Structure 1
Amino acid sequence: MSVIWSKVWFDLWQRKARTALAVASIAAGVFAIGAIFGMVDQLQTGMDTAHHAVQPSHMNIVLTRVIDEATAQDLLKIPGVAGVEPLNIRSIRYKFAPDEPWQTGTLVMRQDFTRQTYDWLSLVRGVWPEQQGVGIERLSSAFYGYDIGDSVIFELDGTDRAFPITGEIRHPFVPPPNFGGAAYFFADGETMARLGIPQGLYNQMLVRVEPYSEDYARDRAAVIKERLAKQGVGIFLTIYQNPDEHWGRPFIEGITLVLRVLAVVSLLTSVILVINTMTAIITQQTDQIGVIKAIGGTSDVIARVYLAGVLVYGILALLVALPLGMMGAFATTQTLLNLFNIDYETFQFSTRAVWLQLFAAIVAPLLAALWPVLAGAAISVRQAIASYGLGGDFGYSTFDRLVEKVAERFLSSAYAMALGNMFRRKGRLWLTQGVLIVAGTMFLMVLTLSNSVTFTLENEFARREYDIKLRLIGLQRADRLTQLGQQVPGIVVLEPRYTVPTTVLREGEQVKDTAGLGGELIAVPAGSTMYEPLITNGRWLRPDESGNVIIISKDTADFNDVGVGDVLTLDLGVYGADDWLVIGTYQALTADPISTDPIYAPADAVTAATKQ
């Protein structure tokens, strides 16, 4: 073994605590980089791979009334429409035991569960729904604790009926029940007919276009809407989805961005600790550097001695952090993908994350150690023997003399010595302060972000003067709803609101909304105080407002360069199109990727436009 490595191993072994702390500081940053970047890579890849595997549709069109299969297949005559698959999805009320309260769920019916075209459902266990048997979505099964062999009670017209659960099914596009998602069930056409939709009729369509692009899908959706409108069928909602990207990406991108920033900050903190460690070692061993140079050692030899030690620190840290980072990334990815109903059982790791860990463990510490190592290696024999190490020139500058004078006048001897020692090595002082400042800044950033989100949510909910929001199937008379509300104990005020799906046009071109799902015109009763969004420009509706005026979201206005005073055309489908004046914009709480863009208008104006 060479003299260089003999000294390296001696320093590492004789100062085990220092070695352990250096390795731990590097390993912390390396682990953070590997776990977070590995998780992000696997999460996005896993989501997109699972998305591709189910043959995703390009559009999910929700209709205002049911159609037959011939009407759906007739849409294939539209140029660019490559495929159409009709289906039924409707809300139901269910419970698992007679003495339980009713809950709201979703019931899905496919034409043929064994020959699906788009958005494939997967049979996990049991059999497909048939002969009065129903399937339960596997997330719902796990969350509520009901499985094959149990029964679920559906509320039918005038009676209740228990259906046996005969299958466990995976649906690729369900919100997790852990975060408030409704329970999903699956049934055949006969069971759906008992719930009000006759066999052979459908209320939704899955559509694909060829060739695919978002703009072309929107263009074909407009043609489909026009074709169906001629037959008296309106479109309540059109959900666009990119076949190459999972629908859940918007939910995780913001979180993963914050985590990546924290991982990089953790690495930078580790790097600063490496600099401090090497500075301390060289300061302590300045006399040894002088001896090495006195017997013929060069600056290059000395630099290699200490950089070799840093290399060993990095290798030891890598041996600890690399497997832990891989396992942490996989475990976190598996947990998050399970929330999105995606299986992820085979152990995998991100190649990019491994390379980043190698850089963080080997290259970054070596680069960080260059400054103190080269500074120490450059000391001459006379300086090394005569000095107190790096920073041994304390007391020669004006600032140093000022520190000494302040210490002598205001501090006792012990504190004066401590203050002088602190400023003796200014570089290490600033690095130490840098670690504390960065760590404190990130701590405050996270707390501020958390408190800001909480404050924003509290303000948003404070603007909502209602406790329950119910969405009805089909049109209902407002006076009848009010009368029913007065009969329910505990209801103080009930305010019916009419909503109608709309396509927003500007000079004949469809504008892009925040979620890409189209708009929803909401009729606000005169003088309503139930909810008033945060107005960012213009004004809210006056109590006596009755003309064709609207308030749109700030994001939609920014996307399309629309301002207060501009005129937009609202295409209400079967109800025709008309011009509306923008009088204000509001700030949406979030750009929800699965919700339409609310557009607020006076109830009298909406009634006049729709005759409803």
Structure 2
Amino acid sequence: MTLAPRWRKLIGDFGATRGRIALMLAALAIGMFALTTISGAYAILSREIARNYLETNPASALIDVGEVTPEILATITADPDIAAAEPASIVVARARVGEEAWHRTLLFIVPDFSSSSIGLTFPEAGSFPPADGAVLVEREAMGFLGAVLGEQISVQTSGGTTLALPVAGTVHDPSLAPAWQEQTAYIYLSSQTAAQLGLPLAPELVKVIVRDAALGQDHIDGVVSGVASRLRDLGATVHQVQIPPVNQHPHQSQMNGVLGMFMLFAILTLILSAVLTAAMVSALLAQQVRQIAIMKAIGGTSRQVGGLYLAGIAIVAALALAIAIPLGLYGAASFAGLIAQLLNFDIVSPLVPAWLVIALIATGLLLPLGFVAVPIRKATRATVREALADQGIAADALRNDPIQRLLGRFTGIDRTLLLALRNAFRKRGRLLLNIGLLGTAGAMFIAALNVEAAWQGQLVAAANSRDYDIEISLLQPVSAIRLSEALASVPNIADLRPTDLISAAAGREDGLMLVRTYPDGGHGSLSLRPLGSLPADPVFLAGHGEDASAIVLNQQAWNLLGRPPLDAPLLLAVEGRTVAATPGGIARQILTPATVFIPPELFADLADHGGGATAIRLDLADDDDARVAETASQISAALTQAGIAVEQLTTEATLAAAQSGHVAILIIALKAMALLMAAVGSIGLAASQGSSVVERTREFGIMRTIGASGGALMRNILAEGLMIAFLSLPLALLVGVPLGYSIGQLVGTLSFGLPLPLTVSLEAIATWALILAVGSVLASLTPARQAARLTIRQTLAYN
């Protein structure tokens, strides 16, 4: 088969510039790989997190009535808007393996595993259901506790009863965050096993499924609050109603927000790749100006010539897709797997929807063609006369260029470096493209490290803002005298301060304590503490705490309660009571749950703890990390020996470990995205330097004629690459600092309810400068070698 002359020319043109075509292919492949990975992961995770969560048949609400009686259950199930209801209990305890440290634990008590249909768990290993006297452990909690199948776990309840129970099996509960994230273990047991621990045989909660839940949150709230009101009319005590966001995993909104941000960055990477491709096509056509004129002179039309080059780029784009789509789909499945592990759910199917693959293919073809159409149209629309008269960069134009004249006045610096600098500014469009590509990559990298530095700074600020080293939550109120006696023998305690807290919620007109939280009690919980629990010198974001009759909210509580105005009455619900209080200030607290600080007299009236404390704060004489851990172990042992049941013992190390896991994958992904952009920028620099060598061939011949060595030419190209790279550094800083601040606002708000502060990491700048230096040398090395190998004969024969 004989190819038409125009196709033979296209093959010849691409073959003569195969290095540049290879760079074009690589740039498009990288851009499509980034977009395929992120969009594919988004599609997989959005589908799978919803599937995992909904397969548990999550409760629309949990109604805490203290003791579930047949009458209460009958009243609830008789409501036509209730599709299903079943009793259960969730008890806070603590557990440990052997002599290891105690860990806060949630005991999920299931009256009948075989008939349970709401809030399901899925067997993983061992026996299911567990025999009486044995327990099931959530799979992620096994590693957190250091447990193995068949081994005994010691469980201690609020009454002080401690019992060793064998692990009969493991289960997966996709509705819960991993145990290590929440620093809480999850154990499942029967009512009979719970009775052995001294817990009431009668369940305390009713899990309900609201019919037509798809109607939305207001519908569920209305149905459940109506049921709760009827229960109160019958004389039942409704302690609390928990209604989580409808059909939404606890971390779904945070995941969607972060992945949406990555999607924008991936689209930007592909756009930069397409822009780079257009620039390389423009450089290629600049060398074909006269050939295009000849083709038009013998009868070729602008459409035919333009279509020829568009077809060639379409082939390159198709090859890039053939490489990027399979790799991107693999990357999407891998990235989705990492996120799923972080959020404790399974990927049932790693397949990306067919419509998304089709959309990616269309994008990967049409976007580059749209960008390259501009230089192709410009080159093919020129008349034959204009094309034959083209002389490239005119000497007069260079002489009259103000930047070139300015650089020509520089004296006292190495001529090779001066020549490299002048050449860098010879084609300013190409220079700006390279600066833009490398500057964008640098901005992403600097932003990622700035966010990481800001995060670490917040952890340090959180530690410095607290006037204690250890906080211990107790399962029952204990008098201050008893606490002091129990810990009197523990060394290293400089100060012991009993404190207190109770659960609360936003007040309602019907008096119900309705909390927007999940069965684990987190992700939306609100606590009340006495005003004395505030640090000695709190930082206020708004208002102040000088009014002794006013309440103080930390920023998490302020956000949770809908950002109420200061100095206006705010309703709070506590155990069936509704109280009105006036916020006087918003205190800045990091790594602290949503808390409202209220006057001590009001707290004592609401808490009814008989003067006992449900928490202790300890200031240590030696707060070295190792010493803190040792003291924490001694404190735990002393309290256990005194018969004081502990819910959770928290140090700065445990807080940091729990929080850092949430942001680690974000920082890693940001760095990976920055490196992909850096690869595109390096490709652009390599293509630019290759074009520069071709354009300066005769110039290099003159330099060789007057005695320049191959090493001097090579040094000139390398110096030009370095200068271009470092010219991008100001742009990287100019964009990276505000970008890091914007990302920090998102991350900080999701994590702390407060944006991360503006942080500029000098280490990030230095690291990126090193990457620029190494990357520019590697990108310029091949063109530099080509220049060094040019002979005088080759340069004079070049046309």
TM-score (norm 2): 0.67
- Sort the Cα spacing of 1:138 and 1:416 in 2 relative to 1 into closer, same or farther, 3 A: closer
- Sort the Cα spacing of 1:460 and 1:534 in 2 relative to 1 into closer, same or farther, 3 A: farther
State the one-letter code of the partner of 2:39.
F
Q: Does 1:34 align with 2:36?
A: yes
- Sort the Cα spacing of 1:343 and 1:152 in 2 relative to 1 into closer, same or farther, 3 A: same
Larger helix proportion, structure 1 or 2?
Answer: 2
Match of 1:25 in 2: 27
Q: How far apart are the structure 2 equivalents of 1:123 and 1:554?
A: 36
Q: How does 1:587-602 map to 2 (within 5 A)?
A: 587=588, 589=590, 597-602=594-599
State the one-letter code of the partner of 1:207.
V
Contact residue 523 and residue 601 of structure 1 kept, 8 A: yes
Q: Does 1:540 align with 2:545?
A: yes
Match of 1:117 in 2: 117
Q: How far apart are the structure 1 equivalents of 2:319 and 2:96?
A: 57
Q: Secondary structure at the match of 1:198?
A: coil
Once the two structures are superposed, residues 495-534 of structure 1 have per-residue CA deviations (whole angstroms, 9 ceiling, x without a partner) of 33332333433777999988697764523254x5547764
Once the two structures are superposed, residues 404-441 of structure 1 have per-residue CA deviations (whole angstroms, 9 ceiling, x without a partner) of 43243326876676555444433323222221232232
Match of 1:137 in 2: 138
State the one-letter code of the partner of 1:241.
P
**Cα displacement (A) at 1:150:** 3.2
Q: Does 1:291 align with 2:297?
A: no
Q: How far apart are the structure 2 equivalents of 1:540 and 1:607?
A: 19
State the one-letter code of the partner of 1:551.
L
Q: How far apart are the structure 2 equivalents of 1:417 and 1:386?
A: 28
State the one-letter code of the partner of 1:539.
H
Q: How far apart are the structure 2 equivalents of 1:11 and 1:555?
A: 66
- Sort the Cα spacing of 1:224 and 1:261 in 2 relative to 1 into closer, same or farther, 3 A: same
**Cα displacement (A) at 1:263:** 0.8
1:367 to 367, 370, 375: 370
449-458 or 412-421, which deviates more: 412-421
Q: Does 1:608 align with 2:608?
A: no
- Sort the Cα spacing of 1:518 and 1:325 in 2 relative to 1 into closer, same or farther, 3 A: closer
- Sort the Cα spacing of 1:224 and 1:606 in 2 relative to 1 into closer, same or farther, 3 A: farther
The sequence identity of aligned pairs, in percent, is 23
Q: Secondary structure at the match of 1:173?
A: coil
State the one-letter code of the partner of 1:57.
A
**Cα displacement (A) at 1:341:** 3.4
Contact residue 69 and residue 202 of structure 1 kept, 8 A: no
Q: Secondary structure at the match of 1:279?
A: helix
Q: Secondary structure at the match of 1:91?
A: strand
State the one-letter code of the partner of 1:28.
I
Match of 1:524 in 2: 530
Match of 2:244 in 1: 240
Q: How far apart are the structure 1 equivalents of 2:579 and 2:79?
A: 26
Q: Does 1:197 align with 2:199?
A: yes
- Sort the Cα spacing of 1:101 and 1:421 in 2 relative to 1 into closer, same or farther, 3 A: closer
Q: How does 1:82-93 map to 2 (within 5 A)?
A: 82-93=83-94
Contact residue 512 and residue 556 of structure 1 kept, 8 A: no
Q: Secondary structure at the match of 2:133?
A: coil
Q: Secondary structure at the match of 1:193?
A: helix
- Sort the Cα spacing of 1:184 and 1:572 in 2 relative to 1 into closer, same or farther, 3 A: closer
553-562 or 164-173, which deviates more: 553-562
- Sort the Cα spacing of 1:413 and 1:560 in 2 relative to 1 into closer, same or farther, 3 A: closer
Q: How does 1:121-520 map to 2 (within 5 A)?
A: 121-125=121-125, 126-141=127-142, 146-155=147-156, 161-199=163-201, 201-212=202-213, 213-223=216-226, 233=237, 235=239, 238-243=242-247, 245-389=248-392, 392=393, 395-396=396-397, 400-410=400-410, 418=420, 421-505=423-507, 520=526
Once the two structures are superposed, residues 65-90 of structure 1 have per-residue CA deviations (whole angstroms, 9 ceiling, x without a partner) of 44445444444456744433221222
335-344 or 28-37, which deviates more: 335-344
- Sort the Cα spacing of 1:550 and 1:143 in 2 relative to 1 into closer, same or farther, 3 A: closer
Q: Secondary structure at the match of 2:58?
A: coil
TM-score (norm 1): 0.86
Match of 1:571 in 2: 573
Once the two structures are superposed, residues 153-188 of structure 1 have per-residue CA deviations (whole angstroms, 9 ceiling, x without a partner) of 334777754433222222232221343543322222
Once the two structures are superposed, residues 312-358 of structure 1 have per-residue CA deviations (whole angstroms, 9 ceiling, x without a partner) of 11011000001011111112223322343333254411335423421
Contact residue 504 and residue 528 of structure 2 kept, 8 A: no
Q: How far apart are the structure 2 equivalents of 1:569 and 1:119?
A: 31
163-172 or 485-494, which deviates more: 485-494
Match of 1:4 in 2: 6
- Sort the Cα spacing of 1:602 and 1:122 in 2 relative to 1 into closer, same or farther, 3 A: same
Which runs of 5 or more structure 1 residues have no equivalent in the other structure?
none
- Sort the Cα spacing of 1:518 and 1:559 in 2 relative to 1 into closer, same or farther, 3 A: closer
Contact residue 548 and residue 579 of structure 1 kept, 8 A: no
Q: How far apart are the structure 2 equivalents of 1:271 and 1:240?
A: 44
Q: How far apart are the structure 1 equivalents of 2:58 and 2:172?
A: 14
**Cα displacement (A) at 1:264:** 1.7
Contact residue 501 and residue 530 of structure 2 kept, 8 A: no
Q: How far apart are the structure 1 equivalents of 2:153 and 2:560?
A: 47
Q: How far apart are the structure 1 equivalents of 2:41 and 2:541?
A: 37
Q: How far apart are the structure 2 equivalents of 1:473 and 1:79?
A: 38
444-453 or 475-484, which deviates more: 475-484
Contact residue 48 and residue 348 of structure 2 kept, 8 A: no
**Cα displacement (A) at 1:96:** 3.1
- The alignment of Structure 1 onto Structure 2 pairs a total of residues equal to 596
Once the two structures are superposed, residues 460-507 of structure 1 have per-residue CA deviations (whole angstroms, 9 ceiling, x without a partner) of 332222233333324433443344344543333333333233343377
Contact residue 62 and residue 204 of structure 1 kept, 8 A: yes
Q: How far apart are the structure 2 equivalents of 1:33 and 1:203?
A: 49
**Cα displacement (A) at 1:365:** 1.0
Contact residue 120 and residue 172 of structure 1 kept, 8 A: no
Q: Secondary structure at the match of 2:595?
A: strand
Q: Secondary structure at the match of 2:124?
A: strand
Q: Secondary structure at the match of 1:430?
A: helix
85-94 or 39-48, which deviates more: 85-94
Q: Secondary structure at the match of 2:462?
A: helix
Contact residue 569 and residue 580 of structure 1 kept, 8 A: yes
- Sort the Cα spacing of 1:583 and 1:192 in 2 relative to 1 into closer, same or farther, 3 A: same
Contact residue 152 and residue 164 of structure 1 kept, 8 A: yes
Contact residue 497 and residue 522 of structure 1 kept, 8 A: no
Once the two structures are superposed, residues 259-298 of structure 1 have per-residue CA deviations (whole angstroms, 9 ceiling, x without a partner) of 2122122112212221221122112222322332333333
- Sort the Cα spacing of 1:142 and 1:583 in 2 relative to 1 into closer, same or farther, 3 A: closer
Q: Secondary structure at the match of 1:205?
A: strand
Contact residue 504 and residue 510 of structure 1 kept, 8 A: no
400-409 or 187-196, which deviates more: 400-409
Contact residue 571 and residue 578 of structure 2 kept, 8 A: yes
Q: Secondary structure at the match of 1:37?
A: helix
Q: Secondary structure at the match of 2:446?
A: helix
Once the two structures are superposed, residues 553-605 of structure 1 have per-residue CA deviations (whole angstroms, 9 ceiling, x without a partner) of 4774697563111012323234x333211211245658x9xx7x421112222
Q: Secondary structure at the match of 2:494?
A: coil
State the one-letter code of the partner of 2:112.
D
Q: How far apart are the structure 2 equivalents of 1:54 and 1:410?
A: 73
Contact residue 75 and residue 231 of structure 2 kept, 8 A: no
Q: Over the residues paired in the alignment, what is the CA RMSD in angstroms?
A: 3.5
Which runs of 5 or more structure 2 residues have no equivalent in the other structure?
610-799
Q: How far apart are the structure 2 equivalents of 1:305 and 1:48?
A: 48
Match of 1:43 in 2: 45
